[in-house]
Amino acid sequence: MDLRLLQVFKAVVECGGLSAAELELNIGTSTVSRHIKDLETRLGLVLCRRGRAGFAVTAEGQRVYDETLRLLAAVDGFRASVDDIHDRMGGALHIALFDKTASNPRSRIHAAIADFVALAPDVKLHLHVGSIQAIERGVMDGSFAVGVIPAHRASASLRYDPLFGETMYLYCGAAHELFDADHATLDWPALRRRDDFAGLGYHSPNMELAHAERLPRKATAFEQEAIATLILSGRFVGFLPDHYAESFVRRGQMQAVAPEQLHYTCDFVSVLRRSPQPPRAALAFHQALLAAHAAAPG
């Protein structure tokens, strides 16, 4: 019963309210409210505020939510271990991806998913998108079974296997002074002297490049979508994957700046924890990723 109450609370937090969680849980709002009240009584804590002012998670509720994620991940791990004993694959498998991988023609994650579903039809897949650090932390603590991230500094607790690559170019928006301008004199030292670079605010190939080339960051973003929005404002330049920027370029909203010089490559890897050994389903999905990308043309 306690696990059920925690699962209800998790859904309420992630849906942003009791009414919104009604559809996700397939139970009435009054029942959702009663479950949350029962959980608060059991824990002796107020987990969320609800009323005319709207829904909000309390500080104590946020801590309980974080611990709930860890507990439910451990429960999934227990179920996976039991399945391993029975030599079967079932339960839930949580996979975490770095953002904007679907538009990369070199990515074969979709093919790996198709192969895995054919191999393990009883496994329920959950796909998440997150930052590099969030994905690595999740793989370490068991919240995620497998991650796909850009390669950067490696953790000794994790195993990294290469999958595919992408090319990052510097882009400006249509309203920027560099759009349709002569880029012949633009190089890394010239970019270093500018005051309009937008970069990622966490450790990543983007940040490593900015540090290596001593690029002063005028604006900070925490995902590719945010970088694109800053570029579209016409006030900033920033690096984006060429496959993601392609639609903006086609519509005349962006343009690559000195693409022959101002670019870098990024390699994506599959991430597994080293210990304890991942469950059988996680290993099978990891192998499906490796096989799909090994078979990719080029």
Helix ranges (DSSP H) in the chain: 2-15, 18-25, 29-43, 59-85, 109-119, 132-141, 188-192, 205-212, 224-232, 242-250, 280-294
In a domain, 77, yes or no: no
Compute the distance between CA of residue 130 and CA of residue 223 in angstroms, rounded to an integer. Answer: 9
Residue 153 in any domain: the answer is yes
Residue 81 domain-assigned?
no
Count the domains in the chain: 3
Considering the domain boundaries, does residue 179 fall inside one?
A: yes
Q: Are residues 160 and 274 in the same domain?
A: yes
Compute the C-alpha angle 151/152/154, nearest 5°: 100
Task: Please check whether residue 75 lies inside any domain of the structure.
Answer: no
Residue 70 lies in a domain: no
Return phi, psi of residue 148, to 5°.
Answer: -130, 115
Host domain of residue 233: 165-266
What CATH number does residue 8 fall under?
A: 1.10.10.10
Q: pTM higher than 0.75 for the full model?
A: no
Residues 6 or more apart whose CB falls under 8 angstroms from that of 252 comprise 174
Mark whether 46 and 180 lie in a shared domain.
no
Looking at the structure, do residues 157 and 175 belong to the same domain, yes or no? no
pLDDT digits (tens), the chain, 298 positions = 588 899 899 889 988 888 888 877 888 888 889 999 999 999 999 999 887 778 899 999 999 999 998 888 778 777 767 766 656 666 789 999 998 999 999 999 999 999 999 999 989 899 999 889 889 988 988 889 999 999 988 888 999 999 999 999 999 999 999 999 999 889 999 999 999 999 998 888 999 999 999 999 999 999 999 999 999 999 999 999 999 999 999 999 999 999 999 999 999 999 999 988 888 889 999 999 999 999 877 5
CATH code of 93's domain: 3.40.190.10
